[in-house]
Homo-oligomer: A and B are copies of this chain.
Amino acid sequence: MLKEAVYHRPKNNWSYAYDRHTVHIRLRTKRGDVQRVQLIHGDKYNWQTVGAELTEMNVFAQDALFDYWQAAVKPPFRRLKYGFKLIDGDDQLWLDEQGFHESEPKSMNLYFEFPFLNAADVFEPPAWVKDAVFYQIFPERFANGDPSLDPVNVEPWGGEPTTSNFFGGDLQGVIDHLDHLTALGINAIYFNPLFEALTNHKYDTIDYLKVDPHFGTNEQLKKLVDACHARGIRVLLDAVFNHSGNEWPPFVDVREKGAESPYADWFHVREYPIGVKDGIPTYDAFAFVQHMPKLNTENEKVQAHLLEVARYWIEEIGVDGWRLDVANEVDHRFWRSFRDVVKRANPEAYILGEIWHDSLPWLAGDQFDAVMNYPFTEAVLDFAVRGTRDGKQFADLVGYLQAAYPQQATEAAFNLLGSHDTPRLLTLCNDDKRLMKLATAIQFTFSGTPCIYYGDEIGLSGGQDPGCRKCMPWEEDKQDLELFAFFSGLVSLRKNHRALKDGTYAVLHAEDGDRTLAYAREADGEKFIVALNASKRKETVTLPIGIDVAANVVFGDG
């Protein structure tokens, strides 16, 4: 048994409360290296009298190098002391906090601890998220429902998007097209920013408490939210709290008054007067973007304002949560206060961070419920679209990701295949709808809530920003209705089967150099076999399925 490969360290993704009664314990070993792992566990305060229990651990995920083992235990007094026994043939190893032992440790003193399962620390994403299918709307480009609100320089609907032009999309447009969303079957909307700002993307906020006048009013948003709720659709807004816009009044004041401004400490100014030197703002900004000054979220007045914003839109307007822009660059301390305020306003609100990379530090239950799952996006695109990852490599990366987070984070992950920040899926597929369907089929049959980027479902194309922000075409002859039927079919399939939401996941076929892939999802006595072929020719795959299975082909070419 390769000792160097074995990993366990309490908390994070290795030991955590799955719910208020259950602790998950995980261990990593070299792939295929260890036959059995047993969890030795008990209550440290009665271990001497009652003794320990043994629970067999199971391999729940694998990647290129490792097997990941898991056991779920329900400690009667919510305290857990535990060690591991690794077995391979005649070899046995015990693992405790001091490392490996060739024989069973005489004392449990040095075993690992999950000291107490306190309910306050349990990571509980809202239950509805598992049942959600999201739809992302870039408001300036979805539908123009009220031309009287158009910017003066508005261009005709359907023109070529640039970084700075406007087409007049607004809230009334969304209200007018809710039937489209209902027909598609989605039950949650994620809106890109709606608050007053100068740009077409509105990530440069001027007023955090006011809907952009080109989009509508706060009252109209409330009407939209109510209309959505009446259809069973939840609404998520974009919180741009890392930075403000150039014209946000506090920043205007600092620009004018310099260090004398009462708002000077609301930002991170390195040098006055504020400006740009050699292409670099003299204050911290998002990237080096002059018109997006980074907010000092350590300042108590900035905190108070942003937390009031967080509360206002949930309590007064009824929105169901927040997507947090550039979430990884804001301090953890602020996000903890943010979670407190949001969950107090609505315990069922969803908090979704924009983080493109490893997100464990935000997914411990004290900050976010989920992140935008771009590592999953990359895995799917590599396998199904780019062909740069074979079935084995896809399964390995997905296996790694499943072991990388607590299970509830995987279940509440936000699985997207494109957004306002990436080229559109169809364009990545070189307009090959078969590849697009393959990728989308994976997205909808995996743990984590899928999100459709507006227009993908009717064949909208477009490259990297601004190309991916085209106007939604509403004439039926400009919509790919066959694709729409595919999407709505997937949405319906997923919504009606728990196996596809939080069912178990098992890889059935994933081989080196082979672009086919098969996996199973199972729950409630129902089992789905997902068999995929990303190669250019027909393939036959033999799957290890019991012979008594009564199988129905529910989707695909059979």
- Minimum CB distance partner of A13 in chain B: B9
From A117-125, A133-141, A449-457, give the one contacting chain B: A117-125
Q: A92: CB under 8 A from chain B?
A: no
What's the Cα separation between A77 and B355 when bound, in Å?
19
Q: Which of B10, B99, B331 contacts A64 (CB 8 A)?
A: B99
Query: How far, in Å, is A218 (CB) from chain B's closest CB?
Result: 31
What's the Cα separation between A556 and B64 when bound, in Å?
54
Residues of B contacting A331 with CB < 8 Å?
116, 118-121
Residues of B contacting A288 with CB < 8 Å?
45-46
Residues of B contacting A329 with CB < 8 Å?
79, 115-116, 118
Contact of A113 with B357 in the complex, beta carbons under 8 Å: yes
Residues of B contacting A97 with CB < 8 Å?
357-358, 375
What's the Cα separation between A121 and B367 when bound, in Å?
14
Contact of A287 with B45 in the complex, beta carbons under 8 Å: yes
| A-side interface mostly | loop
Q: Which residues of A contact B (CB under 8 A)?
A: 2-5, 7, 9-12, 30, 45-46, 63-66, 77-79, 97-99, 109-110, 112-113, 115-116, 118-121, 284, 287-288, 297-298, 328-334, 336, 355-358, 360-361, 366, 375, 378, 397, 400
Contact of B120 with A297 in the complex, beta carbons under 8 Å: yes
Query: How far, in Å, is A535 (CB) from chain B's closest CB?
Result: 23
Contact of B4 with A118 in the complex, beta carbons under 8 Å: no
Closest 9 pairs (CB-CB, A-B): A118-B331, A4-B5, A115-B328, A45-B287, A116-B329, A120-B331, A11-B361, A120-B333, A120-B298
Residues of B contacting A356 with CB < 8 Å?
109
Contact of A65 with B9 in the complex, beta carbons under 8 Å: no
What's the Cα separation between A45 and B287 when bound, in Å?
5
- Minimum CB distance partner of A33 in chain B: B4
What's the Cα separation between A118 and B356 when bound, in Å?
19
Contact of B3 with A65 in the complex, beta carbons under 8 Å: yes
How many copies of this protein are present in the complex? 2
Residues of B contacting A45 with CB < 8 Å?
287-288
Query: How far, in Å, is A306 (CB) from chain B's closest CB?
Result: 14
What's the Cα separation between A97 and B30 when bound, in Å?
19
What's the Cα separation between A113 and B375 when bound, in Å?
14
What's the Cα separation between A20 and B357 when bound, in Å?
23
Residues of B contacting A298 with CB < 8 Å?
118-120
Contact of A332 with B366 in the complex, beta carbons under 8 Å: yes
- Contacts A3-B65, A284-B78: A11 and B360 contacting too (C-beta < 8 A)? yes
What's the Cα separation between A388 and B297 when bound, in Å?
51
Residues of B contacting A109 with CB < 8 Å?
356
Residues of B contacting A119 with CB < 8 Å?
298, 331
What's the Cα separation between A332 and B112 when bound, in Å?
18
Query: How far, in Å, is A305 (CB) from chain B's closest CB?
Result: 16
- Minimum CB distance partner of A268 in chain B: B78
What's the Cα separation between A109 and B358 when bound, in Å?
12
What's the Cα separation between A378 and B96 when bound, in Å?
14
Residues of B contacting A361 with CB < 8 Å?
10-11
Query: How far, in Å, is A93 (CB) from chain B's closest CB?
Result: 13
Residues of B contacting A375 with CB < 8 Å?
97-98
What's the Cα separation between A333 and B328 when bound, in Å?
21
Contact of B357 with A121 in the complex, beta carbons under 8 Å: no
Contact of B357 with A112 in the complex, beta carbons under 8 Å: yes
